[in-house]
């Protein structure tokens, strides 16, 4: 069964729009877990545009399953990760001007620095995942620099339609199969929603899906517990039909 990690960043986005105390991503995480989430993901950005340090500390105290910290490979974030001790770290690219993460890490360009960052985090007892594009070269490099797992970027698939979407789906399938063959635990995420998740969830070898915006968007209408339950049901159906 493919696991579901729920990203609660956008609950914090609504809160930070008014710099107030609600809605609280901690409460959202609790309800997401009650709805069936296998873990909670947060991206602590350098500019703190949504998740705050306080949120990460409290989530570490209350999340009973997987807490996944997405972060840039900076000295500040490495120190925070080593202090908080999430269950895993996912290193992601980060630009101040972007609305959301625009693509996978350019692992080939930062290979040498990544080796050091990954070693430091793993020496602290924390498994490391790299958010990468569906590319065999990037997968090979991720293995070389010591990553425990990868998260395949599904944004190009999610943003396309028709024949182009089918082409992107095949790229993702090939990437997941290749990653698994190299012994990497393999996840996927970005842009997945209630209408496009099934073809991804049914891919053999996939460990987990990380989904946030679409679940939070539906939660505005039906509540987060129900929104998570509905997404889990879709993933379950996809896995059973493989």
Query: Catalytic residue positions?
Result: 43, 70, 190
CB atoms closer than 10 angstroms to residue 65: 12
Query: CA-CA distances (angstroms) from residue 75 to 57, 71, 79, 81, 119?
Result: 18, 11, 6, 10, 13
Q: Name every residue whose Cβ is closer than 8 Å to that of residue 29 and which is 6 or more positions away in sequence.
A: 6, 8, 37, 40, 59, 62, 63
Query: What is the residue whose two structure tokens read 């024949």?
Result: 163
| Displacement of CA 3 from its chain's centroid (Å) | 12
Alpha helices of the chain — where are they, by DSSP H? 9-18, 25-34, 53-62, 75-84, 111-123, 136-144, 155-159, 162-181, 197-201, 213-222, 224-240
Q: For 105-110, which contacts have Cβ atoms below 8 Å and span 24 or more sequence positions?
A: 105/130, 105/131, 105/132, 105/138, 107/132, 107/138, 107/141, 107/142, 107/145, 108/137, 108/138, 108/141, 110/73
145: number of CA atoms within 13 Å, CB side? Answer: 28
Listed in sequence order, the residues at least 6 apart from 103 whose beta carbon sits closer than 8 Å to its beta carbon are 93, 133, 153, 155
């Amino acid at each position: 069964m493919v696991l579901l990690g729920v990203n609660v960043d956008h609950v914090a986005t609504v809160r930070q729009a008014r710099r107030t105390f609600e809605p609280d991503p901690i409460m959202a995480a609790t309800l997401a877990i009650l709805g069936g989430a296998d873990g909670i993901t947060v991206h602590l950005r350098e500019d703190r545009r949504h998740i705050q340090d306080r949120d990460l500390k409290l989530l570490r105290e209350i999340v009973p399953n997987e807490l996944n910290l997405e972060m840039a490979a900076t000295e500040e974030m490495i120190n925070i990760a080593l202090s908080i001790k999430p269950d895993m770290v996912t290193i992601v690219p980060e630009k101040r001007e972007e609305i959301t993460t625009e693509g996978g890490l350019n692992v080939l360009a930062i290979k040498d620095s990544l080796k050091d960052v990954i070693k430091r985090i793993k020496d602290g007892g924390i498994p490391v995942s790299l958010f990468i594009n569906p590319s065999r070269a990037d997968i090979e490099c991720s293995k070389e620099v010591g990553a425990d797992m990868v998260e395949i970027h599904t944004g190009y698939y999610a943003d396309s339609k028709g024949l182009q979407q089918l082409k992107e789906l095949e790229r993702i399938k090939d990437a997941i199969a290749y990653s698994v063959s190299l012994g990497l635990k393999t996840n996927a995420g970005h842009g997945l929603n209630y209408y496009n998740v099934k073809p991804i969830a049914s891919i053999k070898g996939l460990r987990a899906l990380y989904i946030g915006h679409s679940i939070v968007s539906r939660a505005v209408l039906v509540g987060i517990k129900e929104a998570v339950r509905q997404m889990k049901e879709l993933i379950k159906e996809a896995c059973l039909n493989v």
